[in-house]
Amino acid sequence: MKTKLFLLALTLTTALFFTSCNDEDEIPRPEITGFELGIDNNKTGHIGHDVHVDAKITAPGKIEKVRVVIHPEGEHESKSATFLSEEEEWKVDSIYTEFSGLKNATFHKHIDIPDYAKEGDYHFHFIVTDMEGNQASLDEELEIMHGDGHSH
C-alpha cells in the first residue's frame, strides 16, 4: 500500500512539476480593430488621389511591422519582370516599421493612387506581425475608380 501511495505521490509531483515549469506563456496574436478603408469605410479609392487606411492595433507581443499589399483582383502570383516592363500595373507592397516595439498603435495612412492605375477591383491585405512572429491580417476588396472622391 505504501508503494502505491508513494508512486501516486511521485506521479502527481512530476505532473505538477512539468505543468508549472512552463515559463513560456503563449502570447496572444495581434488584434486589428476599428479598420477603415476609404472615406467612411467605403472601400474605394480614386485615381490621381489617395486611399485612406485607418486601424487600431493591439499587440501584447509588441509590433514588429505592418504590411500593406494592394494588387489587382485575381493576381496572387508574382509576375515576371519582363511582363511588368511591358505593361505597368499599380500595386503596393509596403512595410511600415515606425510602430516597432509598441503594444498599441493607430495606423493612419493615405496611400497614393497614381494616374496610371487602372479602374477596377483590387485586393487589399493588411498584415500585422509582432516580435514573437504572431500575425493578424485583414483582407478587403478595394474598388479603384476615376473621379475625385468628393461629393459636390
Q: Read off the pLDDT band of 74 (50, 70, 90).
A: confident
- Residue from 144, 147, 136, 145 nearest 67 by CA: 136
Q: What is the pLDDT of residue 73?
A: 87
Q: Which domains does the chain have, with CATH numbers?
A: 24-145 (2.60.40.3880)
Q: What is the pLDDT of residues 81-113, one digit of tens each?
A: 434 434 578 999 999 999 999 999 999 999 999
Contact 88, 30 (CB under 8 A): no
Residue with cell 509582432: 130
- Residue from 80, 85, 50 nearest 68 by CA: 50
pTM for the model stands at: 0.75
Q: What is the pLDDT of residues 3-49, one digit of tens each?
A: 665 555 556 555 555 554 455 678 999 999 999 999 999 999 999 99
Residue 9 class from Cβ within 10 Å (0-12 exposed, 13-18 middle, 19+ buried)?
exposed
Task: Provide the 10 A C-beta neighbour count for residue 46.
Answer: 20
Cell of 67: 504590411
Contact 142, 51 (CB under 8 A): yes
